[in-house]
A and B are shown apart, each in its own frame.
Chain A
Amino acid sequence: MAQPPILILHSSGTNRDGDAAQAIRLAGGVPHIVHLNHLRRGDVQINDHAALLIPGGFSYADALGAGQRLALELRLWFGEAVAELVSRGKPVLGICNGFQALVRAGLLPGPFEPNTHVVNRQVTLTENANGLFECRWVTLRVEPTVRSSWLQPLKDTLIRCPVAHGEGRFVTSSDDLTQELQTSGLVAFRYQTPTTQPTQPTQPTSACPQSSDARGLYPANPNGSVADIAGICDRSGAVVGLMPHPENHVFDWQRPHGAVGGSGLALFEALVEAAK
């Protein structure tokens, strides 16, 4: 497939579907924004697509907790279809509200069992440490140890992009579990403190900023996530989720200040490549 079709799921309240579609288009994929109603009616099939992207927004107003109702829909209606997509090795990416829904549906960190009634969840995304919605640019490192095969080309690189969420604090049920997520390569992205000064615009755009771990410090780690975890993947490596918005940094002009590099487009290029 030269230009793989990528399904971008829209449910009531989704709002970064257009941003995600643009990133996919620039990365060489063909985005299809599909309303959940069309999937449910069977007008469109998930498995006619080469990847699934669940974008940001406030699905169903997040009235029952961020991504909670979308998670229920995913499990009740599309659990098996998503499991099939994953078993074919096709990438699934959840951004922000999409990440929250994947975690609440049990797809992240998995293992996912589509037919069980209730998910026994060990990790969650909950209210930011300061209790408030926060919008600001952050720096992420793609973990060198990440297990996901489609993230391999990005290992140890930096992405700069904004966060915009109120419930993005990654929490686990125990320190042992946090440790295990890291040792088994399930941690995909971590918040960083950039250490290089903004460079002059004369430098080539391939130059990459330097950084060190945020060590839980605000605002580099904007929400108090444990171990600076901004995103994770499942054991199969196909399913990936993160809170920040790499789809909002796919053009140079979107970057708010001086420093070059760290485009989010690389993430979508990796996804499209894996979907081929």
Chain B
Amino acid sequence: MKPHHLSKKEVEHVAWLAHIELSDEEKTLFTEQFNDILEFFKKIDMIDTKGVEPTYHVLDLKNVSRKDETIPSLPTEEALKNAPKKEKKFIKAPRIV
């Protein structure tokens, strides 16, 4: 029997959360592939991790900060160079609602 962790409907929902549109064929294909991958991820379920701290980062660096001083940053023209749509000194965005 095929592993079942996620339905097509759920894939559609998560893709929406990630802001990625999917075609109907892709939804079907991804659902199948995700179920295989999640079945593989299940492997770690059985490991005993009671009392084990998570490793977010391998380094023991904490709160790396610099002095709060103004330093030169990218000029506007440079920052806009790669924007597909712009107007004057602004990036042209789609409407929000």
Chain A bound to chain B: no
**B positions within 8 Å CB-CB of A:** none
**A positions within 8 Å CB-CB of B:** none
